[in-house]
Amino acid sequence: MASTRTRVALLGNPNSGKSSLFNHLTGLNQKIGNFPGVTVEKKSGLCLMPDGNTVEIVDLPGIYSIYPRSLDEQIVAETLLDHDGPTTPDKIVVIVDGTNLKRGFLLLTQIIDLGRPTILALNMMDLAAKAGISYDFNALSLQLGVPVVPIDARKGVGLDDLKKIIVQPLSAPTRKVFDIWKEVEAPINELRAQLEVGNNYEAYQFLEQPASLKFLSKEKQAIVDEIRAKHEFFPGKFQGAETIQRYGFIQDLLNKIILKASDNSWKNDSARLDKILVHKIWGYFIFFIVLFLIFQSIFAWAKLPMDFIDGMFASLSSALSTNLPEGVLTNLIAEGLVPGIGGIMIFIPQIAILFAFISVLEESGYMSRVVFLMDRFMRKFGLSGKSVVPLMSGVACAIPAIMATRTIDNWKERTITIFVTPLMSCSARLPVFTILIALIVPDQTALGFFNLQGLALMGMYLLGFLAVILSAWVMKLLIRVKERSYLIMELPTYRIPKWSNVGITIIEKTKAFVFEAGKIIMAISIILWVLASYGPGDDLNNAREAVLEESKNLRLTEQGLEDRIAAYKLERSYAGIIGKTIEPLIKPLGYDWKIGIALITSFAAREVFVGTMATIYSIGSVNDEDSSTIKERMREEINPETGGPRFTPAVGFSLLVFYTFAMQCMSTIAVVYRETKGWKWPIIQLTYMTFLAYVSAFAVFQLMS
């Protein structure tokens, strides 16, 4: 049911300042959802108008023309062509970069031709003024037949005027910029006779864009197809000519309305910066320093808040189990739900810091230079310069990283990027790496200042990256699709980031992670809790008696007894049974059934490893994150077959390699399914990564022992 609230869509080129305007109008009143039926992110928010009403503002993806080049762009065409869809706008605000109108006007004239109520917002008028540019706004408005508002979206200048115009009644523009060719008149007339279409240009778009008509019923789509076939209309045939015709109109228009032009000298600083930032030596040097800074902060700065969150949930969990009446429900809440939520919350600091960096890099214009610098190298391996951002994000978490691949418009490059991103070592692997490395690598320094454990940790990250590059290269050879790939991309002028935009990005991305991934992680935690808490028969109910019987000659403390009971229960639970079942399979890797249980529980989320180890070795409840205790206990564990320690360097490295390569993350599988629209890729990916993990761990164990 469509609400009666006015809906206003923001439309414009990438880098035209659209998100600044959106953030200014809606503040933190934003909602990120999906467009119906597709995974394209839909940002909308409410804005209070001077007349006391609120309007809904929808931020559409940035585009250069109504003809879509990628998935994200297609949604714009669909939204504009559909007259009564759930996101159909009542009014459209087209934002054009005021320092250079030409390209923004291409899109503007297309929208005007569609005949929807349109408002033109000329943005960055502060920069235009600084560059000495001035326009005749009245002439512009008269020529185009739409209201024109000069604004500065970064500072919020002119927004009151814009709001005033938005609330006024606005009639559809009657100006027609593009003369549709004579050859196309017949199919257009036929289409308009059979379907409800707003005007000729819209009918023309129906013919041009067969892929953007999903809002039509099957029968109506068939009618369009039929008309297209009957008149032998080929989509794209006239697109080049249309573009030229429009630019001809735009040039004439600009000649009339530009009072003073600029010599582009205001861009000199930016050009000078480029001399350093894309320099063949300094360019890479600076990029690696930026990367290093990001890594440092993800791991160093995030540690404190992460420990704090961890401690908070641990105490909440134990407080709940002591204060609530004993029972299944209490156990579920204290041991399943609360640690589950904690397991999601703990990643917030890292995700927030990562997106702070990414957003600053994007806002400043540096990110396009990174794409520019890395494209050639990435292309060798079947990736694109645009894969750099997802791969970088993958260090924090594969979920937002895979969502960030939508900017890659080539199907093959995007699929390969999605496929290899989970091999980047994400933050969930960190606790596993930390504990295993502490166990098998001595805490010594080499060559004076290299900490061996630190080196080993860095080695794990390098190993992950190596797997990314090599897997991508293999995929490049295997996928035989002849789709051309492009890198026609704008290198925007450098600007100082707008901090409120950065802040809003951090909040929105973190929220999206907590709710999207959180749902799945929660569900899995509950399933795992059930598997680890229940078992067949009466074994689990009789655990206390059995342990008492077993250990009556031992002088156990109260805590020691409880821990033994927990270990006894886990061994006989469904998880324990599965662990024992797979023991023959994992023995060649050097693992026993206890490690098997950890593998099973961390199938859903790898960071569960540490907690499971704690339970299995009965050094306390799952929430006891005192890793030194776990480490000591693991060190003492004896391998009954050799009489030596269970966690030899061979087993330790075998586990490290396994955790580096294995796809132990349900949320990633879910997001890959969503992004690739099917089970094919997640299944191939899961199989491949499991195989790679198994074979590598096998090789490491066999070579080292």
Site for other proteins, rule CB under 8 A: 64-65, 67, 69, 99-100, 102-103, 106, 236, 239-240, 243-244, 247, 264, 267, 271, 274-275, 278-281, 283-284, 368, 371-373, 375-376, 385, 484, 486-493
- Distance (Å, rounded) from C-alpha 616 to C-alpha 472? 38
Please identify, using beta-carbon distances, which residue of 281 and 481 lies nearer to other proteins: 281
The least distance separating other proteins from the CB of residue 344, rounded to whole angstroms, comes to: 38
Of 256 and 275, which CB lies nearer to other proteins in the complex structure? 275
Name 552's Cβ contacts closer than 8 Å, sequence gap at least 6: none
Q: How far apart are CA 44 and CA 29, in angstroms?
A: 8
Print the SS3 string covering 491-542. Answer: CCCCCCCCHHHHHHHHHHHHHHHHHHHHHHHHHHHHHHHHHHHCCCCCCCCC
Give 99 or 471: the residue with its C-beta nearer to other proteins.
99
What minimum distance in Å lies between the beta carbon of 240 and other proteins?
5
- Quote the least distance from Cβ 496 to other proteins, whole Å: 18
To other proteins, the closest distance from the beta carbon of 291 in angstroms equals 16
Q: Give least dist CB 412 to other proteins, A.
A: 15
Q: How many CB atoms lie within 10 A of CB 697?
A: 26
Of 561, 534, 560, which Cα lies nearest the Cα of 545? 561
Q: Are 218 and 258 in contact (CB under 8 A)?
A: no
Q: Which is nearer to other proteins, 67 or 355 (CB)?
A: 67
Cβ closest to other proteins, residue 244 vs residue 527: 244
349 versus 385: smaller Cβ distance to other proteins: 385
Give me the least distance between CB of 132 and other proteins, in Å please.
14
Instruction: State in angstroms the smallest separation of the CB of 178 from other proteins.
Output: 14
* Closer residue to other proteins (CB): 244 or 585: 244
Q: For every residue of 241-304, which 3-state class applies, written as one string?
A: HHHHHHHHHHHHHHHHHEEECCCCHHHHHHHHHHHHHCCCCHHHHHHHHHHHHHHHHHHHHCHH
- Coil/strand/helix, residue 91: strand
Pairing of strands 54-59, 7-12: parallel
**176 or 237: CB nearest other proteins:** 237
Helix (H, G, I), strand (E, B) or coil at 64: coil
β-sheet bridge partners, residue 32: 43
Q: Please, which residue, 2 or 211, has the CB nearer to other proteins?
A: 211
Give backbone dihedrals phi and psi of 541, rounded to 5 degrees, phi first.
Answer: -70, -30
What is the distance between the terminal CA atoms of the chain, rounded to a whole angstrom? 67
Q: Which among 575, 566, 562 has a CA at the least distance from the CA of 534? A: 575
Task: Name the minimum Å distance from CB 479 to other proteins.
Answer: 19
Q: What are 209's two structure tokens?
A: 């864009």
Q: Nearest distance from residue 388's CB to other proteins, in Å? A: 13
CA 514 to chain centre: 12
